[in-house]
């Protein structure tokens, strides 16, 4: 039984549709069209564009509260809406589940292509890069009302000038980041 | 494609490959199962979970990377990801505006207006800091999540510190709001140019950027 | 004609591509550069760059999530 199953999945590896849709990467433009489709679906159904990093601040607040801190006095979390989100818990926070979904979807895509590998840390430089880069992304996203998804993609597609201003700042930041990366983290 | 290539090097050194496809189907089944469970509590949460999985799947299959779209033109001279991002912006603009226009025409509140954010110096500074961070950390917000799913320990660390940075930013947000953000205002392009004008203008700008990106790449690859 | 191995296992984008761009400059026409990668994005952008430069490129999946991009410097 088990043997038959493995044979089925081994045969699948040479199936032309498997290779086309699950094994080989999509072109960048195919992905662009599909992402656009789901962005439009997201706005149509949930009445808001796709956002990612807003939930990270909520998770940060939950972690902070779990270790004994309180964010209730912070302007960012002071509004009734933000308080309701914080008190509502994970199960009632749709944005959290969309982020979990991204992780799960990417995992599924990698496994279906039989390309999963745990990529361990290679050097201390990578840890430093992840810590510094992660902190910068988090802080920057709060100042600019979102990340590359909410503020940039969602902003521009919403015909908001803020999306374009974000694009300019992010592009300049990427140039400086590239110089730093080559100099210190390579 | 990769399977057909023959290597000059001995294939004897290769380890036997494990077949991960069954685990892939198990993951898909798990995604569906969790959606059914979430649906018992809230169909909205289940919808977010499923669209998230779709976004993750597409991002990974397309290796779609917003970081690369901003970084590669300078660093490696390639603009293929940049051009794909421009295509995504153009298509989504059309779809979004259709939905918004429909609401506006029916006299209803236009959805998604909270994403029309106020523009101030904080937008530029925040985006700049974000841009530096994403190149160093090897992934933006969506890219970091996608690479957590792909098994990158580095991005998992970046993800944790992304949360901590968000907390820090939320802590300082009151100051920024009072001193910087409150001095700016939001600009919704249809308010200035009308619905049609705003869409035509934006698609025109995207078209120009696309051509510039392609010409730039040609120039860079011919220059050495 | 020599063969140069470039070990980029564990390196995140765009480091494999930048390293490949740097090391191919050191090679003579006819030499081979073999870039070992396990970053799924690099598996797309390294061959794309090399093809655009007009080199001969082969991608071989050596293990789950591990690839070797074999580039022949043809000019």
Domain that holds residue B128: 63-223
Residues of chain C falling short of pLDDT 50: none
- Delimit the domains of chain C by residue range: 3-72
Q: Are residues B82 and B105 in the same domain?
A: yes
Question: Cα separation of A134 and B159, whole Å?
Answer: 6
pTM higher than 0.95, yes or no? no
Domain end residue (candidates: B43, B62, B81): B62
Q: Are residues B197 and B129 in the same domain?
A: yes
Q: Are residues B43 and B78 in the same domain?
A: no
Residue A114: which pLDDT band, with cuts at 50, 70 and 90? very high
Q: C32 by DSSP, 3-state: which?
A: strand
B80-127 pLDDT per residue, tens: 999 999 999 999 999 999 999 999 999 999 999 999 999 999 999 999
Domain end residue (candidates: B24, B43, B62): B62
- Which of C14, C60, C61 lies at the smallest CB-CB distance from B75? C14
Question: Cα separation of A183 and A180, whole Å?
Answer: 5
Q: Are residues B14 and B52 in the same domain?
A: yes
A57-68 pLDDT per residue, tens: 999 999 999 999
Across chain A, mean pLDDT equals 95
Whether B140 shows a pLDDT value over 90: the answer reads: yes
Are B221 and C12 a contacting pair at CB < 8 A? Answer: no
Q: Are residues B55 and B4 in the same domain?
A: yes
Are A105 and B83 a contacting pair at CB < 8 A? Answer: no
Q: Among residues 94-113 of chain A, which lie with CB inside 8 Å of chain B? A: 94-95, 97-113
- Delimit the domains of chain A by residue range: 1-47, 49-118, 120-186
Question: Cα separation of B169 and A29, whole Å?
Answer: 34
The reply to whether ipTM tops 0.85 is yes
How much is the pLDDT for B5? 41
List residues of C with catalytic annotation.
Answer: 13
In whole angstroms, how far apart are CA B70 and each of A17, A170, B128, B186?
33, 7, 11, 24
How much is the pLDDT for A186? 83
Q: Which CATH number fits domain C3-72: 3.30.300.30, 3.30.110.40, 3.40.50.450, 2.60.40.2140?
A: 3.30.110.40
- Which of C49, C58, C59 lies at the smallest CB-CB distance from B76? C49
Q: Are residues B29 and B82 in the same domain?
A: no
Q: For an interface test with B, which of A13, A45, A158 has the most B Cβ atoms less than 10 Å from its Cβ?
A: A158
- B19 contact residues in A (CB cutoff 8 A): 6, 9-10, 13, 114
Closest by CA to A96, choosing from A47, A64, A53, A40, is A53
**How far does the CA of residue C40 sit from the closest CA of chain B (Å)?**
7
Domain end residue (candidates: B62, B96, B114): B62
DSSP state of B9: S
Residue A5: which pLDDT band, with cuts at 50, 70 and 90? low
Question: Cα separation of A82 and A65, whole Å?
Answer: 14
Q: Domain count for chain B, please give it.
A: 2
């Amino acid at each position: 039984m088990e043997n038959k199953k493995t044979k089925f999945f081994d045969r699948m590896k040479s199936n032309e549709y498997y290779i086309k849709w699950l094994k080989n990467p999509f072109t960048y433009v195919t992905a662009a069209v599909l992402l656009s489709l789901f962005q439009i679906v997201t706005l149509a159904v949930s009445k808001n564009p796709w956002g990612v990093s807003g939930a990270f601040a909520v998770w940060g607040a939950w972690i902070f509260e779990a270790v004994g801190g309180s964010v209730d006095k912070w302007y960012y979390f002071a509004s009734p809406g933000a308080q309701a989100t914080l008190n509502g818990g994970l199960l009632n926070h749709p944005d959290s589940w969309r982020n979990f979904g991204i992780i799960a979807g990417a995992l599924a895509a990698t496994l279906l292509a039989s390309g999963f590998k745990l990529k361990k840390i290679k050097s201390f430089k990578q840890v430093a890069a992840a810590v510094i880069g992660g902190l910068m992304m988090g802080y920057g996203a709060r100042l600019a009302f979102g990340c590359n998804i909410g503020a940039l993609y969602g902003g521009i597609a919403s015909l908001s000038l803020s999306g374009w201003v974000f694009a300019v700042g992010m592009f300049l930041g990427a140039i400086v980041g590239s110089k730093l990366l080559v100099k210190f983290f390579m | 494609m990769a399977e057909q290539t023959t290597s000059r090097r001995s294939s004897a050194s290769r380890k036997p490959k494990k077949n991960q496809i069954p685990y892939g189907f198990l993951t898909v089944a798990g995604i569906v199962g969790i959606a059914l469970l979430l649906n018992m509590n809230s169909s909205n949460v289940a919808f977010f979970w499923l669209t998230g999985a779709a976004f993750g799947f597409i991002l990974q299959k397309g290796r779609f990377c917003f970081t690369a779209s901003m970084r590669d033109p300078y660093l490696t001279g390639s603009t293929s990801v940049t051009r794909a991002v421009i295509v995504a912006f153009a298509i989504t603009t059309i779809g979004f505006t259709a939905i918004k226009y429909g609401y506006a025409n029916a006299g209803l509140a236009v959805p998604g207006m909270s994403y029309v954010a106020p523009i101030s110096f904080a937008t530029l500074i925040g985006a700049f800091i974000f841009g530096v961070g994403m190149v160093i950390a090897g992934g933006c917000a969506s890219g970091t999540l996608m690479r957590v799913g792909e098994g990158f320990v580095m991005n998992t660390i970046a993800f944790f510190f992304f949360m901590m940075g968000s907390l820090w930013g939320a802590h300082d947000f009151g100051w920024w709001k009072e001193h910087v953000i409150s001095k700016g205002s939001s600009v919704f392009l249809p308010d200035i140019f009308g619905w049609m004008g705003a869409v035509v203008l934006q698609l025109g700008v995207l078209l120009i950027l696309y051509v510039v990106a392609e010409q730039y790449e040609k120039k860079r690859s011919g220059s050495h | 004609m020599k063969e140069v191995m470039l070990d980029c296992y564990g390196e995140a984008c765009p480091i494999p591509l930048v390293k490949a761009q740097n090391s191919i400059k050191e090679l003579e026409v006819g030499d081979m550069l073999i870039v070992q990668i396990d970053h799924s994005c690099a598996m797309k952008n390294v061959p794309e760059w090399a093809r655009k430069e007009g080199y001969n490129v082969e991608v071989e999946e050596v293990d789950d999530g591990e690839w070797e991009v074999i580039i022949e410097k043809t000019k």
